[in-house]
Amino acid sequence: MKIFISGGTGFVGGHLCRELLSRGHQLRLLSHSARVSDADAVEYMPGDVTSEGSCLKGAAGCDAIINLVGIIREFPQRGVTFSALHVEATRNMIEAAKQNRIERYLQMSALGSRPGAVSGYHRSKYQAEELVVSSGLDYTIFRPSLVFGPEDAFVNMIAGFISRFSAVPVIGDGTYRLQPIAADDVARCFALSLEKPETSGKAFNLCGPDRLNYLEIVDVVAKVLGRSFVLKIKNPLILMKLATSILEQFPFYPVTSDQITMLLEESICDGSWQGTFGFDPTGFEEGIRKYLR
């Protein structure tokens, strides 16, 4: 199968490309710049997912489309917004599928996307889902919890704090829960869905086997790094929200009000996706031991 992928050069995209190549697929990746492939089965096509023309051209001659594009933070002055990268980009990819008579379409969403979502991130992801569902395509949607892997931002950020300072800042009391899932497991679900007709027309919440609060995640990362003690610096929630509302306009500030909202909402699921895809996901500690030092 020849597959057109937007977001294939990103974090999850790298894992997905390796999984798809191992299953014999050919890939065409939408890329911001021309690149030379180191694999005969991978083609890089210069373009931008916010350009309908790029998507139409990229999808030509393909058998399936995968849209992985997503941002966690907006930079409106650069045109980097949830509306542009989640909603309009999805609209372009759907149109590319229709114009090129491609039926199979896979979409990356996020756990927590739903009608009436509080955060702008989740609202835009749900708007994109609605476009997919109403498209008439043979679709599957995936909503992962926190995704971890060698090039992730979240776990490596915590590891960086522990390695440099033996201390980690905590927003509020740190008892909000997450259910991290390995990037390889997310990639495997995407690849398997191309082989499983029963995934058509469905959305799957993806999460790992370990339901951990933020403080427990810090402890696991510290354990893997061989640190017996890490100072957890709890920052009062009301002060964090106030400071963030003022400072989030500056790129150097590491968190936004939207991200705080999502963190407090938690990101957990019941794991029912395993009944369809038939494999046990990697445990958090086991997974991060493969890449943290």
CATH number of the domain to which 128 belongs: 3.40.50.720
Assigned domain for 224 exists: no
Identify whether 21 is part of a domain: yes
Question: Residue 38: its pLDDT value, please?
Answer: 67
What would the two tokens of residue 253 be?
A: 């500030």
The most distant pair of C-alpha atoms in the chain lies apart, rounded to whole Å, by: 58
Does residue 261 fall inside a structural domain?
no
pLDDT at 39: 74
**Residue 217 confidence (pLDDT):** 98
Alpha-carbon distances, residue 274 vs 23, 151, 234 (angstroms)? 20, 25, 35
Q: Check residue 36 and give its pLDDT.
A: 65
- Provide block-wise average pLDDT over 10 residues at a time, the chain (293 residues): 97 98 98 75 95 97 98 93 98 98 98 96 98 98 98 96 97 98 98 98 98 98 97 97 95 93 96 98 98 90
Three-class secondary structure of residue 257 per DSSP: helix
Q: Whole-angstrom distance between the N-terminal and C-terminal Cα of the chain?
A: 38
- Residue 292 inside a domain? The answer is no
In a domain, 87, yes or no: yes
| pTM for this model (two decimals) | 0.96
pLDDT of residue 34: 65
Task: Label residue 1 exposed, middle or buried (CB < 10 Å: 0-12, 13-18, 19+).
Answer: middle
The count of domains in the chain is: 1
Distance CA 32, CA 202 (A): 31
Instruction: Tell me the per-residue pLDDT of 119-164, one tens digit each, with 9 for 90 and over.
Output: 999 999 999 999 999 999 999 999 999 999 999 999 999 999 999 9
Judge contact between 230 and 168, C-beta under 8 A: yes
For residues 132 and 90, the answer to whether their CB atoms sit within 8 Å is: yes
The confidence score (pLDDT) of residue 293 equals 78
13-29 tens-digit pLDDT = 999 999 999 999 999 99
Q: Is 169 within a domain?
A: no
Provide the domain limits for residue 132: 2-147+182-207+269-281
